[in-house]
Amino acid sequence: MQKILITGGAGFIGSHVVRLFVNKYPNIEIVNLDKLTYAGNLANLEDVEDKSNYRFVKGDIVDAAFIQNLFETEQFDGVIHLAAESHVDRSIANPTEFVFTNVIGTVNLLNAAKHIWKDNRKGKRFYHISTDEVYGSLGKEGQFTETTNYDPHSPYSASKASSDHFVRAYNDTFGLPTVISNCSNNYGSFQFPEKLIPLFINNIRNNKPLPVYGKGENVRDWLWVVDHARAIELIFHKGEIGETYNIGGFNEWTNIDLIKVICKKMDEKLGREAGTSEKLITYVKDRAGHDLRYAIDATKIKNELGWEPSLQFEEGIEKTIDWYLSNEEWMNNVTSGEYLKYYEAQYQER
């Protein structure tokens, strides 16, 4: 039986990847390694936790000895690496944590894979999940391709860019069978509500202000998380070793237009008078180093692997809002305690 390690499987995207693999591949053993930081939550995986091909291991990828030992004991056939510190605002408040987890943690995993696969690399694969933010910022025109130069601006994107470089270096230098994908912004169920879409749904629900950076003119491409998980599945099985694939939703929005869509839908869902939620919009000081526009050219994965988003944004955002509104307990649990303190401190600074 093949055994795959998925890191960060208790987080937003990781939980969707774990769910897809556990349900679709009963003959693959899935080991989910996660430190369970504020962003990791085993409640995201309640529907698969009893499956016989699934196992959870709590641990920190920064702990090199623990990682080495885990790889030697488990002898994984493949790795899908999603564990990361993932929030740009937190990387501005505490950049070092991002170097530890995103850079050193990734190198620890690369070392361990290199060690256990040194005599037999056949069928083995180390798949690193990354972001479009490594490419920097675009003007009004153009899109990022797989050959766009790296130009990260935030500590988060700098740490992800660094980890991408290490993954490529291990392929070039040691012949480690690696593959990388860089994806645009994801949205969907189980996303920690510090990120724009669930944050605004939750704030509207609680009649709290909607803090919009600058004038809300920054442009992002949005992809439904389940479609990202499908792309990851495809790249893990069929992507070419040493290659990079860009993944995107062909779906660009300025922040303010996206927020207005959410406001409108929330008014409808909550039976509030049209325009009620928009009144909560509060413009705040722009994020330092805020990239203007990200856009992904996802032609390569479309042409070479036949992947395309399955869901139009209109339907995806509808499903997403419905999910958060019908999972109030999940939302209340993750937004209490430490997170509430962090959020209030962030917001007061502006």
What residues between 53 and 82 interact with ligand NAD by CB under 6 A? 60-62, 82
Binding ligand NAD (rule: CB under 6 A), the pick from 6, 14, 178, 230 is: 14
The region of 32-40, 255-263, 308-316, 329-337 touching ligand NAD under the rule CB under 6 A is 32-40
At CA 145, angle to CA 311 and CA 256, rounded to 5? 55
Q: First vs last Cα of the chain: how many Å apart?
A: 53
Q: Shortest CA distance to 162 belongs to which of 114, 138, 128?
A: 128
Q: Which is nearer to ligand NAD, 212 or 225 (CB)?
A: 225
Q: Which is nearer to ligand NAD, 255 or 277 (CB)?
A: 255
Q: What is the DSSP letter of 240?
A: P
Q: Left if phi > 0, otherwise alpha if psi is -120 to 50, otherwise beta: which for 79?
A: beta
Tokens of 330: 């999940």
What's the rounded Cα separation, in Å, for the pair 7 and 81?
A: 5
CA 325 to chain centre: 22
Say whether 273 is catalytic. Answer: no
CA 113 to chain centre: 22
> Could you tell me the smallest distance in angstroms from the CB atom of residue 86 to ligand NAD?
4
Say whether 133 is catalytic. Answer: yes
The region of 20-28, 30-38, 112-120, 292-300 touching ligand NAD under the rule CB under 6 A is 30-38
Say whether 343 is catalytic. Answer: no
32 binds ligand NAD (CB under 6 A): no
Tokens of 338: 């430490």
Out of 29, 85, 132, 227, pick the active-site residue. 132
105 binds ligand NAD (CB under 6 A): yes
What's the rounded Cα separation, in Å, for the pair 10 and 17?
A: 10
11 binds ligand NAD (CB under 6 A): yes
Tokens of 2: 């093949």
253 binds ligand NAD (CB under 6 A): no
320 binds ligand NAD (CB under 6 A): no
12 binds ligand NAD (CB under 6 A): yes
Query: Where on the chain is the footprint of ligand NAD (CB under 6 A)?
Result: 7-8, 10-14, 34-37, 39-40, 60-62, 82-86, 101, 105, 129-131, 160, 183, 185-186, 192
